[in-house]
Chains A and B, each alone.
Chain A
Amino acid sequence: MLDPIILLPAAINGLTMGAVYALVALGLTLIYGVLHIINFAHGSLLMVGLYGAFFLHRAGLDPYLALVVMVPALFFTGYALQWSVIGKASHGSDQNILLVTLGASIVIENLALYFFSADTRTIDTPYSFEMIDLGVALVPLPRVIAFAAALVLAAVLWFLIARTDLGRAIRAVAKERQGARLVGIDVDHIFAMSFGIGTACLGAAACLLLPMFYVSPHVGHVFVLVAFTVVVLGGMGSFSGALIGGLLIGVTESLGGLLLGESLGQMGIFLIFIATLMFRPSGLFGSRLS
């Protein structure tokens, strides 16, 4: 059962899914790092992205081309949500924001149920079942693309945060809001930008996921629980932690599924989650953003 011929392909498949988890977790950890809140609407916004990509595909747009639509669309959705709803309703209190994002996720999911019904949907693409021979394993093409694209996007995000004026302002606001105001940073704008960028990650993840996954009004739950685990595992607000944590969780899930059976695969994730909280509550990696 522990034959490397089976384990290796499973691990590689896990890595590909893990890269998408990492992308989702990067968005979550960015929002956490700057706004100091767990965004409970993260999963439902991913679901919105998946439906967006789904209907664009129905209209004839390939999911990978849909990236150029869905990434900006989710960015603006996130920006507007923070600017006009979350920021306004929270009155500066972090507990309030928590409830507002939770409320937003309930509203979004129920709207999806109402408009799209509870059906689980998938798309067919010409390349859905195309396999790429990586020498040690055959991997479906969409998974290879998702892996590569997620890593490229993570690199872009890293560059944005580490090397640009906007990134400097985001990191400044994350740690020292009053100091940020005193150098003339528009803190509300930076909050909305951070939320927007965190949500844009979901737009990207949605387009990469759709060819190899499904969409339903509750699809976000799968990812948000995993993303929470990744963020806690990697250290709240840590960029590299989210990236490595995502990959690690993907592999764990895949190997867990192989050893324990499909439905128990996610159990491994929560064992890691609990172990992390017990033995290393600050995560495996130091935090970078905050």
Chain B
Amino acid sequence: MSVVRLLDVRGLRAGYDGVPVLHGVDLQVDAGEIVTLLGSNGAGKSTLNNNLSGLFQPSAGQVLFEGEDITGAPSMGIVARGLVQVPEGRRIFPNLTVLENLELGSYRRARGHCSRNLECVTAIFPRLGERLPQAAGTLSGGEQQMLAIGRGLMAEPRLLILDEPSLGLSPLLVEEMFALIRRLHEEGLALLLVEQNVVQSLELAQRGYVLENGRIVLSGTAASLREDPALRRAYLGV
């Protein structure tokens, strides 16, 4: 028997202009799971995310989402299915207002629920609610990160990829960020979390993968990864 995974990545190879970065990545996310993807700078984490989101075309391998092959599909089709990414560097629309940014979150999906989801998002991030008419480019870094996540939530994702959501946030905001991720998880959302905060993300996640030089070198339950001597040496310096 085979259980249909929410996301099933098989032997994915990808790179830029013929320069390979990913050399056959296997990774799965099940419904309702938090899976964390760890790896040092330049390992290929964002490359993987962007190939999953259809910004680039993988050169080999397969991506199945809810059992359907989405390998090489255009980004709009992938968003329409509910695979939504909050990218590294936020990529909000600085020249648009906060409200317009959020509205564009439901450009391709959940458009009919836009006003309802807007209420949900502003309830999660009251600071965004207070700044709806403000140009997004004038928000603080932390607020921009909230906006990026809020924009992602507007599409009612089935799987949300968060690429380093805590990057550049103050320790207090990092705490808030992890609390938010926990809350989204408790509401049933599946998350693929790319993080540099190894300890915190392994506390939050059920499972994890470690990507090095474009290959998965370690994977397993979060508990087993926390105890793994190689991981502790590489990421925790102990």
Please list the residues of chain A having a beta carbon within 8 angstroms of any beta carbon in chain B: 165, 168-169, 171-172, 174-176, 178-186, 288-290
A175 in contact with B95 given A182-B79, A182-B87, A184-B76 (CB within 8 Å): yes
- Neighbouring B residues of A172 by C-beta, 8 Å: 93, 96, 104
Q: Are A183 and B79 in contact (CB under 8 A)?
A: yes
- Knowing A168-B100, A168-B103, A172-B104, the reply to whether A186 touches B76 (Cβ < 8 A) is yes
Given contacts A179-B90, A183-B105, 11 further A-B contacts (CB under 8 A): A168-B100, A172-B96, A176-B91, A176-B92, A179-B87, A179-B93, A180-B104, A181-B53, A182-B53, A182-B87, A183-B107
Given contacts A178-B87, A182-B53, contact A168 B104 (CB under 8 A): yes
Contact of A183 with B151 in the complex, beta carbons under 8 Å: yes
20 contacts between A and B (CB under 8 A): A165-B107, A168-B100, A168-B104, A168-B107, A172-B93, A174-B95, A175-B94, A176-B92, A176-B94, A179-B87, A181-B55, A181-B76, A182-B53, A182-B79, A184-B76, A184-B78, A184-B79, A185-B108, A288-B95, A290-B95
Given A168-B100, A178-B87, residue A185 in contact with residue B107 (CB < 8 A): yes
Determine the residue in chain B with the shortest Cβ distance to A176.
B93
Interface string of B69-93 (1 = CB under 8 A from A): 0000011101110001101001111
* CB nearest to B95 among chain A residues: A175
Check B75–A181 contact: CB distance below 8 A.
yes
A255 to B70, CA, bound (A): 62
Residues of B within 8 A of A186 (CB): 74, 76
Contact of B75 among A169, A184, A288 (CB under 8 A): A184
- B residues adjacent to A (C-beta < 8 A): 53-55, 74-76, 78-80, 84-85, 87, 90-96, 100, 103-105, 107-109, 151, 155
Closest to A172 in B: B93
Contact A183–B104 (Cβ < 8 Å): yes
Q: Which residues of A contact B94 (CB under 8 A)?
A: 175-176
Bound-state Cα–Cα, A290 to B94, Å: 9
Of chain B, the residue at the smallest CB distance from A175 is: B95
**Dominant SS among interface residues on chain A:** helix
Q: Contact between A182 and B55 (Cβ–Cβ < 8 Å)? A: yes
CA distance in complex: A237, B96 (Å) = 15
Task: Determine the main DSSP class of B at the interface with A.
Answer: loop
> A174 CA to B109 CA in the complex, in Å?
21
Cα A3 to Cα B25 with chains together (Å): 80
Instruction: Determine how close the nearest CB of chain A comes to the CB of B203; give it in whole angstroms.
Output: 28
Contact B93 A185 (CB under 8 A): no
Kindly state the separation between the CA atoms of A171 and B103 in the bound complex, as whole angstroms. Answer: 13
How many angstroms from the CA of A184 to the CA of B87 in the assembled complex?
A: 13
CA distance A182 to B76 in the complex (A): 7
Q: Residue on B with the closest CB to A186? A: B76
Taking CB atoms, residues of chain A closer than 8 Å to B93 are 171-172, 175-176, 179-180
The CA-CA distance from A171 to B100 in the complex, in Å, is 10
**What residue of chain A has the Cβ atom nearest to residue B109's Cβ?**
A184
Of B103, B105, B107, most buried by chain A (CB within 10 Å of CB) is: B107
Q: Is the CB of A179 within 8 A of B155?
A: no
Tell me how far the C-beta of B104 lies from the nearest C-beta in chain A, rounded to whole angstroms: 5
Top 9 A-B residue pairs of the complex, sorted by shortest distance between their CB atoms: A184-B108, A184-B79, A179-B91, A184-B76, A181-B75, A172-B93, A175-B95, A183-B107, A176-B93
B18, chain A: closest CB distance, angstroms: 15
When chains A and B are docked, how far (Å) is the Cα of A165 from the Cα of B94?
Answer: 17
Contact A289 B105 (CB under 8 A): no
Residue of A nearest to B101 (CB): A172
Compute how far the CA of A15 lies from the CA of B112 in the bound complex, rounded to whole angstroms. 45
Asked if B104 and A169 make an inter-chain contact with CB atoms under 8 angstroms apart, the answer reads: yes
A171 & B109 in contact (Cβ 8 Å cutoff):
no
Instruction: Verify A171–B53 contact, CB threshold 8 A.
Output: no
Known: A169-B107, A172-B104. A184 touches B155 (CB 8 A): yes
CB neighbours (8 Å) of B104 from chain A are 168-169, 172, 180, 183, 185
- Other-chain contact of A182, B80, B91, B96, B103 (Cβ < 8 Å): B91
The complex places the Cα of A174 from the Cα of B94 at a distance, in Å, of: 10
Closest Cβ of chain B: how far from A149's Cβ, in Å? 29
Across the two chains, which residue of chain A brings its CB closest to B80?
A: A184
Assembled-state Cα–Cα distance A181/B52 (Å): 13
Interface centre among A172, A174, A182, A289 (most CB of B within 10 A): A182
Tell me the complex Cα distance, A176–B76, Å: 15
With a cutoff of 8 Å between Cβ atoms, the chain A residues found around residue B55 in the complex are: 178, 181-182
Minimum C-beta distance from B170 to chain A (A):
24
A206 to chain B: closest CB distance in Å? 31
Q: Taking the nearest CB of chain A, how far is it from the CB of B163, in angstroms?
A: 10
Question: CA separation between A184 and B84, bound complex, in Å?
Answer: 9
Which A residues touch B54, using CB under 8 A? 181
Name A179's closest neighbour in chain B (CB-CB).
B91
Shortest Cβ gap from B19 to chain A (Å): 17
Q: How far is B100's CA from A180's CA once the two chains are assembled, in angstroms?
A: 12
